[in-house]
Structure 1
Amino acid sequence: MAFEFIQDALQQRRQQQLFRQRCTQDSAQGRVFVSEGRQYLNFSSNDYLGLACHPKIVEAWREGAKRFGVGCGGSPLVTGFQSAHYQLEQELCEWQGRSAALLFNSGFSANQGLIKTLLGKNDLLLQDKLNHASLIEAGVLSGCQSKRFAHNQLEQLARRLGQREQQNCLVITEGVFSMDGDQAPLRAMAQLCQQHNSWLMVDDAHGVGCLGEQGRGSLSQQQVAASEVQIQMLTFGKALGVAGATLLCDQDLHDYLINFDRSYVYSTAMPAAQAMAISAAIKLVRADHSYQQQLQANITLFKRLAGELKLPLSQSTTAIQPILIGSSERAVAVSQQLKRQGFWVTAIRPPTVPPNTARLRITLSSHHRREDIHALLAALADILNEQDEH
């Protein structure tokens, strides 16, 4: 029988408590949502500022659909680059202090396209060991020499940079790491790359909107100038509440990607209505700091209460607050018990995280209420204490 490995692989996943399934939600993204007829408090969404259903952003998409329709009909080099796309790119450049921006349908495609287009067999890619799968996989597929350094370990990165033989070297880190919520030391990393004549790229999918002045992200928060980081990747589907991504860079790289990045050249562009919604989200974040302030207040409350309950806290000070459980079986069991009590908290298991580090990835949002956080942590403490007693 052909392709027998499919059933074998699925069976192995089930036995290891690593089998994944989708759950259908029947309501809009928000503080609460409905799944299979039941309402849950949502502690797993990346909608960090609660903007996915903001009236101004929804209205911007509606107006964009009226003006441009619901699809653009082609790639950006054919019919898919409309005035709304151009205006969004210009706004991104002004917001982030960049000379050029390029829009993509997802952060995954932006990362993959950039690495596979920029790096060849004679180039070196150095990545943080905990970088997103889109970055790690692209390094393997690009054909370049790809190496990783221990998480946030600048000494090891410096050694790898000092030992390199290639003329071209790209270092990539995340601004905020998606599974641990901790942050990269961007200022020191930028200085190190400059000393070794290497480029630095920061994937700030989980920092933009949440951190820095006017929500500019990790570079702004750590007071790193845009000129010190050659490439930024930002996504629009997390704190900004919409979808899509951008690469920010200089004009030469921008033009090079337009001509040679196959994931850009051969993909249908995002709808212009979506670009208008993203633009509205950026304007909202820049003008109204209360979303960031409320998110920070919720993070502070969460960490204080979790500490009082002696829950296994991480060092994260961002919206991502993982509770390390260890075994996949136990993480799934705790997640299911929370679900029965009306809390949606996803268990994250290998291979997304290293072996024996399964966790509850709790994400906080500005739309969570104090009583939501109190209730979640009280329920979680009771579940973990009961398990420990057994």
Structure 2
Amino acid sequence: MQDFTTRLEALASQSLLRTRRVVEGPQGPLLQVEGTQELSFCSNDYLGLANHPALIDAATDALQRYGMGAGASPLISGHSRAHESLESELAAFVGTPSALVFGSGYMANLGVTAALVGKGDTVIVDRLAHASLIDGARLSGASLKVFPHNDAVRLEQVLARCTTGRKLVLTDAVFSMDGDLAPLAALAAVCGRHDAWLLVDDAHGLGVHGPQGRGSLALAGVRAAHVLTMGTLGKAAGVAGAFVAGDAGVLAWILQRARTYMFSTAHPPALAAATSASLALIAREDWRRERLQALAAQLRAGLAGLPWSLLPSATAIQPLIVGENATARALSAALRAQGIWVPAICPPTVPKGTARLRISLSALHTSADVARLVAALTALA
């Protein structure tokens, strides 16, 4: 029997032990954390919608109509009118014929990958793809290949050597730990030339990028039948769940074959109703995206002279590379002592030697909030 206590102690000695903190009340720039108020730069609530009154009202109304739980899989009795409406709205929002709602982004990526490819097929993954894409590729049973990060030329070389079965390429649109963007137009063109599907995980781009926040594929001007998009609804949309959107025939097949969809209880109808309200706000309120851009520019200018470097990022994710695990955790703790919460991200989430502070901006942050973080990091440096 494994001695898990010893193994946990080993993680702690390497500054790799993960912990949880108890948050009181709603999400926002200021969080009540275990009895103290902290300025938060750790949430993926990029547009500041998680506590928006319109979402709360929509969920409350839906609770009166549908109750709390969905009761069953969507293929049994869990597919409500709220889910049906949301799927139509999501498809229209991202500009595709069809969409399918899942309980989470992780479940969507696992289910869709295994539905599209299997034994005798090939799945090709960006080296820095999210864990859910990697796990989906491994569990699918297809031959797994990896291409260098954001390298469309190398991807084409890999695809050119695939001569049998179906081919599926997996990539993030916005890479969650680096904040950089995938070259989606180039990747889509390569996949089109080689009769390959492209699944784009736009968890961190939906709502933030593209006209009216319609996502990274809209920003890149990509619309093609061989491209599928997965978007999560618990980040910029401020609710929970996820969806996959694309060609109607492919979505019909995914509904028949995605085990994480078929064998999971549908997520609560009230969340679907809240997401519908969120989509309307995302499309209407451009000021939220404009605020994010202004805050990112302020942060980058303020931290330019520090001994730690920001990775190049035009997104709400601003990673400050520190290097060693212990240093990153110590820096996070020192900020926390000043009432500022910025998480330290260490391996295996990021490559060894690249531990970092992952600074996440929200449209509800103020210029003064960013100035406070800049001043604190400058003093610590």
Deviates more, 1:292-301 or 1:335-344: 292-301
Which of 94, 105, 108 matches 1:107? 105
Which of 377, 381, 385 matches 2:378? 381
Deviation readout 1:158-210 (Å, 9 max, x if unpaired): 11011112231011111100000000011111111111111111100000000
Q: Residues 33-48 of structure 1 correspond to what in structure 2 (within 5 A)?
A: 33-48=31-46
CA–CA distance in 2 between the matches of 1:10 and 1:147?
A: 32
Which of 287, 291, 297 matches 1:290? 287
Relative distance call for 1:19 and 1:201 in structure 2 (3 A) is: same
C-alpha displacement of 1:35: 0.9
CA root-mean-square deviation: 1.2
Which of 131, 151, 154 matches 1:153? 151
Answer yes or no: is the 8 Å Cα contact 1:115–1:138 preserved in 2: yes
Deviates more, 1:362-371 or 1:296-305: 296-305
Provide the residue aligned with 2:206 in structure 1. 208
Q: Residues 11-30 of structure 1 correspond to what in structure 2 (within 5 A)?
A: 11-30=9-28
Q: Which amino acid aligns with 1:198?
A: A
Deviation readout 1:25-83 (Å, 9 max, x if unpaired): 11210010011110000000000000000111111111110111111111101110111
Instruction: Give the paired residue count.
Output: 381
Q: Residues 172-187 of structure 1 correspond to what in structure 2 (within 5 A)?
A: 172-187=170-185
Provide the residue aligned with 2:314 in structure 1. 317
Provide the residue aligned with 1:261 in structure 2. 258
CA–CA distance in 2 between the matches of 1:228 and 1:311?
A: 43
C-alpha displacement of 1:271: 0.9
TM-score (norm 1): 0.95
CA–CA distance in 2 between the matches of 1:166 and 1:339?
A: 54
Answer yes or no: is the 8 Å Cα contact 2:47–2:364 preserved in 1: yes
5+ residue gaps, structure 1, are 386-390
Provide the residue aligned with 1:239 in structure 2. 236
CA–CA distance in 1 between the matches of 2:156 and 2:186?
A: 11
5+ residue gaps, structure 2, are none
C-alpha displacement of 1:9: 2.5
Deviates more, 1:70-79 or 1:40-49: 70-79
Deviation readout 1:119-149 (Å, 9 max, x if unpaired): 1111111111100001111211211101111
Seq. identity, %: 43
Answer yes or no: is the 8 Å Cα contact 2:225–2:247 preserved in 1: no
CA–CA distance in 1 between the matches of 2:164 and 2:292?
A: 43
Deviation readout 1:299-325 (Å, 9 max, x if unpaired): 111112222556512111100000001
Q: Residues 1-390 of structure 1 correspond to what in structure 2 (within 5 A)?
A: 3-225=1-223, 227=224, 229-308=226-305, 311-383=308-380, 385=381
Q: Which amino acid aligns with 1:335?
A: S
SS in 2 for 1:208: coil
SS in 1 for 2:309: coil
TM-score (norm 2): 0.98
CA–CA distance in 2 between the matches of 1:10 and 1:368?
A: 36
C-alpha displacement of 1:106: 0.4
SS in 2 for 1:126: strand
CA–CA distance in 2 between the matches of 1:296 and 1:314?
A: 16
Q: Which amino acid aligns with 2:232?
A: T
Deviation readout 1:362-390 (Å, 9 max, x if unpaired): 0011111111101101111221x2xxxxx
CA–CA distance in 2 between the matches of 1:164 and 1:218?
A: 28
Answer yes or no: is the 8 Å Cα contact 1:190–1:228 preserved in 2: no
CA–CA distance in 1 between the matches of 2:255 and 2:50?
A: 30
CA–CA distance in 1 between the matches of 2:154 and 2:124?
A: 11
Deviates more, 1:171-180 or 1:134-143: 134-143
Deviates more, 1:131-140 or 1:39-48: 131-140
Q: Which amino acid aligns with 1:87?
A: S
Answer yes or no: is the 8 Å Cα contact 2:319–2:358 preserved in 1: yes
Answer yes or no: is the 8 Å Cα contact 2:225–2:246 preserved in 1: no
